[in-house]
């Protein structure tokens, strides 16, 4: 029996930052526990006479704008001069006035983040009602699955607060009443197409006194829009307004419009920080043999003065056969157009152009669809793609079996019949893809290095997930699998199957490892253990590259359900029906167009790899290596001596700096009430009332200041009093208590971190050292990521170092900050390695392994290089060369970690630690 794992969730700093961005937008809103509530006012909730319990926004738009600007400044995104409205295409109609955007790259836990945001908004302010609006069946199922599997995790974080998720069902409209009247944290998940039309059941009164959608409108929900780029039409914008949202929170990796952007984690940041899998491409492209009649339909151009098509064909030229794009009209003969190529002699006169159906027909009866090809060895290419995918699967599984990671491979196909066909009697039979797959599987399963690795029959390890039509009745009924676009009712069962059984797929007890699915399966479905994605299309793929790779970007999990962070493990191999160069260029172009940042050199060529191992050192090199390793390989722990009077002094001085910590302003209070308006002839929608004013200081109840601060910063009550009293700003507690205390906490945290580092002392742990064996394992990397540069194979081994070549493209954040994006270090690291190898003053050098880490109060720290100089006396250096961030300046947290590294290496008097950019700076 298959044992189903339980996925484990951890707290990620970048996700917490995204949650805080939303929570801080509502600074000044009454708190859930009423510590800051105004006299006579409850928390951010409204109890109506009709029994509905809804959200209540108390802040004015002026206060919200000030909060938004503060969040934007903190997160380094463009600051809004005003709250940007959602407008109609003609700009004359306004929708959803309060919109807030969060950009999170695919695979970084967007759904987890907005679920956590709901819990946090409920905890801090008491907001009760949330509606998650999704664009497709797949995303709907994914959201419900995430609400289910994170419930236990969030129950521990949020004191078992009741959370009631509800999937909208047009046949269970009475559930909306329960949603409106529940006093729990309530989450309604609904597909946008369920309420865009007047004919939708949710918008019809029927025998009721009012339309069911009024239940939603009455509670002023916070609306979370998942993948909002799919909602940028007037019909869908208007439908969102009909929900009467308190605000909309928009989450996606590919926004078309940024409405009041609060937080951005773009593809480059996510990739460089190792928050998603790294990408390599194993491109498969047929040679242009020109032995067959090749033709591809590139486009159909229908104009008022006529219709024509553009095709790609092989043409006789003076220098040989060339593949060219030609424009054809009805009656054109490819034999003549190709300048007499015999393969087009019979049956290639263009007889018909069917623009509406996006296809053309030639005189020989050949029909070609838009973007499709004929000839060009398509079957040979796709068969080879399947074999390359199976080969990569077995190799990956062999490498990962010891750490308990199951490997999945995903095949995108554009015709179900190619995988699952039917005979004359309507019985299912394997299509050509299934046959080719099993041939490849048997081939690799029988290889000596893979024998017994997958102990299952070929037919048990693969399956297809497609939508089906039920044909016939009773015992003779059959399911006919069909091609769909992923947005129709028949997709429900398909997506439910693969979404609801995600954990089963991850278990090593489950034989299924190879998944064939229709190419319409895009946003909304993924699995963390997809390591290979193969695109099997008879036409070149028209999917966006980011949609293709998005299904496999999540970091993998082991059999305990724990996320594996090792970058060497988390590599996604894409096997497209095009070259590595074409795929990489298209992906880089897409990302740059959508985000404005370059993704250059990040996608690697799976065919261009090198295996780097330790080389045989000379006697002198061996002595140099052992000498410096003996000096630096000790492990340490630290203690901190905190100078409390100095902390108090620095906090007072920091709070006195009004440029850094501005004086807080009175909270603008905005009252909004909503109720269902009923008259004798029925319901007439929702009536709202709005008012705005400054909070009255005489009605402010000062909270338990010490408890509030001590929950966030571990200081004594006397120290807190000394800081607040010395700041001279206690009067601001009566103006806006929450804003002032949050300001004070920020100042205290910054000063405390700096003083902790200043007072740190490291101590060697007796007998604990890093082993030389850290360098023993052979390292597989890419030819583009080693020094000296290599093409087909490694060049002459680099001198004066430990390995045959020096890997330099780690693409990681060496300082462990889970948000700051460090750009690719390959160029400065290559330069440093080059300079060390040619400088006579350098006798030996090597890069410290990733496992070499120094504990600090701000997280672990991994230095860069060990270098031995020898002139009259031997000098041992540890060099930190990673110094550029996405903004060009290191964050204060990173600098503090480097300071800790400096203190760590002070334990060895003849080891010099330097923070440099070049070798020359090291020896100055």
The 10s digit of each residue's pLDDT in 241-271 is: 999 999 999 999 888 889 999 999 999 899 9
User: Does pLDDT of 34 surpass 60?
Assistant: no
Mind listing the pLDDT tens digit for each residue in 739-765? 788 889 989 999 998 999 999 999 999
Per-residue confidence band for 377, with pLDDT thresholds at 50, 70 and 90: low
Bridge-based pairing of strands 295-303 and 373-374 is antiparallel
Q: Give the whole-angstrom CA distance, residue 71 versus residue 17.
A: 10
Most confident option among 49-63, 210-224, 739-753, 772-786? 210-224
Structure tokens at 52: 């509905």
569 CB-near residues (< 8 Å, 6+ apart): 399, 400, 403, 405, 556
pLDDT digits 0-9 by tens, 819-853:
333 333 346 788 888 888 888 899 999 998 888 99
| Secondary structure element (H or E) that encloses residue 400, with its range | helix 378-400
Confidence of residue 149 (pLDDT cuts 50, 70, 90): very high
pLDDT band, very low/low/confident/very high, at 336 (cuts 50, 70, 90): very high
Report pLDDT digits (tens) over 412-463. 887 888 898 878 777 888 999 999 999 999 999 999 999 999 999 999 999 8
Q: 453 with 393: CB under 8 angstroms?
A: no
DSSP one-letter code for 135: S
**Residue 238: closest CA among 196, 189, 188:** 196
Q: How confident is the model at residue 881 (pLDDT cuts 50, 70, 90)?
A: confident
* Residue bearing tokens 């102990």: 455
Model confidence at 608: pLDDT above 60: yes
Question: Measured on CA atoms in the order 824, 827, 832, 833, is the torsion positive or negative?
Answer: positive
Query: Looking at residue 709, what is its pLDDT?
Result: 87
The encoded tokens of residue 462 equal 């693969």
Domains parsed from the chain with CATH numbers? 18-26+45-265 (3.40.50.300), 295-374 (no CATH), 378-607 (3.40.50), 612-637+763-923 (no CATH), 642-665+694-758 (no CATH)
Mean pLDDT of 505-525: 77
Which of the four pLDDT bands, split at 50, 70 and 90, describes residue 171? very high
pLDDT number for residue 3:
60
Do 859 and 308 contact (CB within 8 A), yes or no?
Answer: no
> Which contiguous run of DSSP H or E holds residue 55?
strand 53-55
pLDDT at position 296 is: 87
Contact call for residues 440 and 387 (beta carbons, < 8 A): yes
Sequence-separated (6 or more) residues with CB below 8 Å from residue 35: 701, 703, 704, 708
Q: In what order do the strands lie in the sheet with 911-915?
A: 842-847, 865-870, 874-880, 911-915
Average predicted confidence (pLDDT) for the chain:
83
Locus of tokens 């300001």? 743
pLDDT tens digits, 885-917: 333 334 677 888 899 999 999 999 889 998 888
DSSP 200: S
CA–CA dist 555, 572 (Å, integer): 10
Among residues of the chain, what percentage have pLDDT more than 90? 44
- Could you tell me the pLDDT band of residue 798, with boundaries at 50, 70 and 90? confident
Residue 678 has pLDDT above 60, yes or no: no
Are 713 and 748 a contacting pair, CB within 8 Å?
yes
What is the predicted pLDDT for the residue at 872?
Answer: 64
The confidence score (pLDDT) of residue 538 equals: 54
Q: Coil, helix or strand for 370? A: coil
Q: At what angle do helices 737-758 and 644-656 cross, to 10 degrees?
A: 130
Contact between 521 and 491 under an 8 Å Cβ cutoff? The reply is: no
| Contact in structure between 27 and 729 (CB atoms under 8 Å) | no
Three-state DSSP class for residue 141 = helix
Cβ neighbours around 588 below 10 Å, total? 17
Q: How confident is the model at residue 283 (pLDDT cuts 50, 70, 90)?
A: confident
Mean pLDDT of 381-388: 92
Question: Would strands 604-605 and 514-518 be described as parallel, antiparallel, or unpaired?
Answer: unpaired
Residue 510, CA distances (Å) to 454, 506, 793 in order: 11, 8, 39
What per-residue confidence (pLDDT) applies to 505? 83
CA distance 442 to 692: 73
In this predicted structure, which of 334-343, 443-452, 690-699, 869-878 has the lowest mean pLDDT?
690-699
Binning pLDDT at 50, 70 and 90, where does residue 804 land? confident
Q: Could you check whether the bond before residue 788 is cis, i.e. omega within 30 degrees of 0?
A: yes
What is the model's pLDDT at position 288?
Answer: 60
Q: Does residue 682 surpass a pLDDT of 50?
A: no
Residue 368 has pLDDT above 80, yes or no: yes
pLDDT of residue 488: 44
- For 190, the 3-state DSSP assignment is strand
Residue 38 or residue 691, greater confidence:
691
User: Is 345 a residue whose pLDDT tops 70?
Assistant: yes
Give the rounded distance of the alpha carbon of 754 from its chain centre. Answer: 32
Residue, of 604 and 735, whose pLDDT is higher: 604
* Structure tokens given for 620: 């002198």
Judged against a pLDDT cut of 60, whether residue 106 lies above it is answered with yes
Q: Which three-class secondary structure state does DSSP give residue 457? A: coil
Which pLDDT score is estimated for 520? 47
At 594, phi and psi to the nearest 5? -85, -30
Alpha-carbon distance of 620 to 617, in angstroms, equals 8
| pLDDT score, position 7 | 86
Gap between the Cα atoms of 33 and 126, Å rounded: 8
Alpha helices in 551-692, H assignment, sequence order: 580-595, 619-632, 644-656
Residue whose token pair is 């008879």: 538
- pLDDT at position 730, please? 87
Query: 390: closest CA among 436, 431, 432?
Result: 436
Tell me the pLDDT band of 648, cut-offs 50, 70 and 90.
very high
For the chain, the distance separating the N- and C-terminal CA atoms, rounded to the nearest angstrom, is 67
**Quick one: how far is CA 788 from the chain centroid?**
33
What would the two tokens of residue 142 be?
A: 């994914």
For residue range 698-740, list pLDDT tens digits in order. Answer: 445 556 788 878 878 889 999 999 999 999 998 888 887 777 8
């Amino acid at each position: 029996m298959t044992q189903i794992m339980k996925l484990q969730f951890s707290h990620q700093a970048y996700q917490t930052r995204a949650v805080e961005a939303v929570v801080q937008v509502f600074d000044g809103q009454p708190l859930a526990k009423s510590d800051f509530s105004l006299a006579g006012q409850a928390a951010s909730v409204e109890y109506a006479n009709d029994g509905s319990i809804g959200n209540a926004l108390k802040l004015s738009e002026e206060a919200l704008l000030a909060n938004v600007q503060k969040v934007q400044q903190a997160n380094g995104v463009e600051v809004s001069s005003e709250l940007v409205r959602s407008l109609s295409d003609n700009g004359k109609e306004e929708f959803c006035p309060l919109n807030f955007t969060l950009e999170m790259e695919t695979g970084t836990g967007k759904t987890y983040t907005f679920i956590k945001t709901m819990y946090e908004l409920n905890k801090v302010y008491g907001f009760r009602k949330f509606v998650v609006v999704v664009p497709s069946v797949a995303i709907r199922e994914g959201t419900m699955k995430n609400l289910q599997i994170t419930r236990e995790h969030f129950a521990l974080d949020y004191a078992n607060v009741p959370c009631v998720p509800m999937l909208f069902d047009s046949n269970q409209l009475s559930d909306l009443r329960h949603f409106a009247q529940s006093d729990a944290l309530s989450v309604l998940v609904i597909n946008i197409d369920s309420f865009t039309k007047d004919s939708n059941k949710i918008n019809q009164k029927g025998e009721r006194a009012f339309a069911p959608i009024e239940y939603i409108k009455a509670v002023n929900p916070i609306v979370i829009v998942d993948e909002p780029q799919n909602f940028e039409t007037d019909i869908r914008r208007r439908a969102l307004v009909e929900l009467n949202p308190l605000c909309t929170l928009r989450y996606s990796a590919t926004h078309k419009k940024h409405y009041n952007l609060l937080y951005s984690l773009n593809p480059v940041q996510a990739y460089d920080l190792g928050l998603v899998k790294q990408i390599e491409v194993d491109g498969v492209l047929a040679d242009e043999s020109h032995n067959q009649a090749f033709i591809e339909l590139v486009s159909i151009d229908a104009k008022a003065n006529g219709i024509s098509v553009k095709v790609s064909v092989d043409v006789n030229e003076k220098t040989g056969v060339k593949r060219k794009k030609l424009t054809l009209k009805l009656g054109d003969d490819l034999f003549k157009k190709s300048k007499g190529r015999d393969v087009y002699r019979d049956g290639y006169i263009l007889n018909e152009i069917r623009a509406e159906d996006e296809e053309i027909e030639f005189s020989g009866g050949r029909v070609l669809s838009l973007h499709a090809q004929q000839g060009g060895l398509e079957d040979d290419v796709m068969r080879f793609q399947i074999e390359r995918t199976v080969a990569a699967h077995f190799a990956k599984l062999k490498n990962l079996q010891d750490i308990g990671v199951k490997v999945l491979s995903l095949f995108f196909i554009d015709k179900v019949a190619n995988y699952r066909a039917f005979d004359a009697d309507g019985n299912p039979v394997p299509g050509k893809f299934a046959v080719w797959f099993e041939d490849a599987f048997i081939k690799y399963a029988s290889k000596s290095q893979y024998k017994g690795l997958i102990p299952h029959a070929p037919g048990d390890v693969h399956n297809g997930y497609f939508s089906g039509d039920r044909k016939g009745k009773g015992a003779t009924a059959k399911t006919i699998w069909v091609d769909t676009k992923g947005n129709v009712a028949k997709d429900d069962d398909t997506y439910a199957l693969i979404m609801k059984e995600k954990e089963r797929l991850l278990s090593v007890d489950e034989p299924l490892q190879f998944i064939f699915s229709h190419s319409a399966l895009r946003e909304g479905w993924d699995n963390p253990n997809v390591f290979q994605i193969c695109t099997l299309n008879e036409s070149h793929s028209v999917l966006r590259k980011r949609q293709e790779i998005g299904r496999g970007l999540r970091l993998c999990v082991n059999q305990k359900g724990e996320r594996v962070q090792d970058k060497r493990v988390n590599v996604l191999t894409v096997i497209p029906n095009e070259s590595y160069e074409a795929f990489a260029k298209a992906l880089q172009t897409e990302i740059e167009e959508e985000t404005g940042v370059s993704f250059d050199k990040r996608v690697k060529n799976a065919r261009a790899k090198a295996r780097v191992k330790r080389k045989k050192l000379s006697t002198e090199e061996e002595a140099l290596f052992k000498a410096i390793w003996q000096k630096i390989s000790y492990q340490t722990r630290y203690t901190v001596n905190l100078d409390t009077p100095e902390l108090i002094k620095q906090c007072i001085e920091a709070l006195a700096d009004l440029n850094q910590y501005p004086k807080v302003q009175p909270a603008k209070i905005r009252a909004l009430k909503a109720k269902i308006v009923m008259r004798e002839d029925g319901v007439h929608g929702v009536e709202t009332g709005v008012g705005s004013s400054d909070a009255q200081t005489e009605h402010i109840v000062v909270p338990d200041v010490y408890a509030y601060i001590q929950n966030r910063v571990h200081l004594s009550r006397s120290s807190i009093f000394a800081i607040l009293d010395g700041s001279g700003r206690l009067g601001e507690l009566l103006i806006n208590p929450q804003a002032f205390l949050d300001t004070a906490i920020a100042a205290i945290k910054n000063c405390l971190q700096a003083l902790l580092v200043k007072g740190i002392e490291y101590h060697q742990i007796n007998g604990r050292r890093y082993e030389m064996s850290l360098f023993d394992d052979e390292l597989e990397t890419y030819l583009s990521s080693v020094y000296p540069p290599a093409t087909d194979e490694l060049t002459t081994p680099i001198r004066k170092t430990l390995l045959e070549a020096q890997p330099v493209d780690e693409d990681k954040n060496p300082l462990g900050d889970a948000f700051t994006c460090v750009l690719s270090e390959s160029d400065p690291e290559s330069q440093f390695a080059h300079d060390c190898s040619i400088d006579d003053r350098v006798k030996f050098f090597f890069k410290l392994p990733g496992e070499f880490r120094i504990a600090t109060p701000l997280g672990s720290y991994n230095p860069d290089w060990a270098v031995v100089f020898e002139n009259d006396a031997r000098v041992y250096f540890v060099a930190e060369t990673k110094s550029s961030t996405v903004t060009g300046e290191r964050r204060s947290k990173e600098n503090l970690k480097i300071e800790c590294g400096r203190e760590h290496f002070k334990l060895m008097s003849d080891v010099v630690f330097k923070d440099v950019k070049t070798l020359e700076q090291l020896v100055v």
